[in-house]
Amino acid sequence: MSTADLPEMDKDAWKDRAKNEAQFWRHWVRSSGGKWPEDFENRTNPNAPLINEITTFLDDLGTDRNAPVEILDIGSGPLSILGYVSPEREARLTLIDPLADVYNQILDNAGVEGVPRPRTGFFETAPGALGENKFDIVWCRNSLDHSIDPLLGLHNLIAMCKVGGGIILRFHPNEAEGGGYEGLHQWNLDKRDDRMVLSQKGLMLDLTPLIEAQKILSFTQIIGADGQKGMVTVKLQKLRDPNLSQAVMRARAL
């Protein structure tokens, strides 16, 4: 595989590929969730409780219940799945998505109000807008592999988390291969044994050194009854600021 065969990965190319993503969410909002009405109801309910995974993670990290918690949902889509309120602590939720302007117009047209809205931001530039060491929890679900530069995106997820805070990264394996490199599916993330791997068109980079510099709390994958490999979840506690150059050098040395 020659690097000349790799797809264009700049903002203009990304925006052109994102049209189907916007259309999916436009239909989802207009149809009140379509096949997933409970999902729509939860996301549009300003009193929806924080999901158990977040509240449990905060407790596991030893987060002070008397202090507000800052939660980032990056690649959120138009509405967050995380919930909004907790009887145990004040939660401040920030949503970031490259298509926020489109999504907010969709929500305006549908009359959806009273819940946090996404702000426009890319994985690659979000720390410049939001700051580093800002969030107690950084949540990223099914979106890092839709980014322009997932290596930089992963670095920035860690950078935006406070030292002592936590990152939850969740993805389906090898979405680009499975989706024929259509739309936003231009990158593959995968769990290979205990390694986290990024690939594109047969070229591969080991991302493990970037996450190994933090405390890996869990690195799991759902395996179906038929042996099919499903969703991967990585949970980290941030110990230090990430160093992208060292991570790449360690990956090349493996």
Q: What is the pLDDT of residue 227?
A: 79
Question: What is the CATH code for 3-253?
Answer: 3.40.50.150
pLDDT at res. 223: 87
Residue 254 has pLDDT above 80, yes or no: no
Question: What's the average model confidence in pLDDT over 3-32?
Answer: 91
Q: Which amino acid is at 95?
A: L
Q: What is the DSSP letter of 144?
A: G
Helices (H), the chain: 11-17, 19-30, 37-43, 52-60, 100-110, 126-130, 150-160, 175-178, 208-212, 244-253
User: 189-203, pLDDT tens digit by residue?
Assistant: 999 999 999 999 999
Mean pLDDT of 242-247: 96
Confidence at residue 152, expressed as pLDDT on a 0 to 100 scale = 97
Q: What is the pLDDT confidence band of residue 22, given thresholds at 50, 70 and 90?
A: very high
- pLDDT band for position 88 (50/70/90)? very high
Q: Tell whether pTM > 0.85.
A: yes
Rounded (to 5) percent helix, strand, coil in the chain: 35, 25, 40
What lies within 8 Å, CB to CB, of 172 at 6+ separation is: 142, 178, 230, 231, 232
Distance from chain centroid for Cα 141:
4
pLDDT of residue 43: 98
Domain coordinates in residue numbering, the chain: 3-253
pLDDT the model gives residue 4: 55
If we measure between CA atoms, which residue out of 136, 141, 199, 128 comes closest to residue 170? 141
* pLDDT value for 228: 83
Residue 119 phi, psi dihedral angles, 5° rounding: -105, 150
**What would the mean pLDDT of 124-128 be, rounded to a whole number?**
97
Please give the structure tokens belonging to residue 87. Answer: 């009887």
Strand order across the beta sheet in which 91-97 lies: 118-120, 91-97, 69-74, 135-141, 161-171, 229-237, 215-223
The stretch 66-71 carries a mean pLDDT of 97
33: CB partners within 8 A, 6+ apart:
39, 40, 41
pLDDT-derived band at 252, boundaries 50, 70, 90: confident
| Residues facing 140 on adjacent strands | 169
Q: For residue 156, which of 180, 129, 182, 174 has the smallest C-alpha distance?
A: 129
- Tens of pLDDT, residue by residue over 129-176, are 999 999 999 999 999 999 999 999 999 999 999 999 999 999 999 999
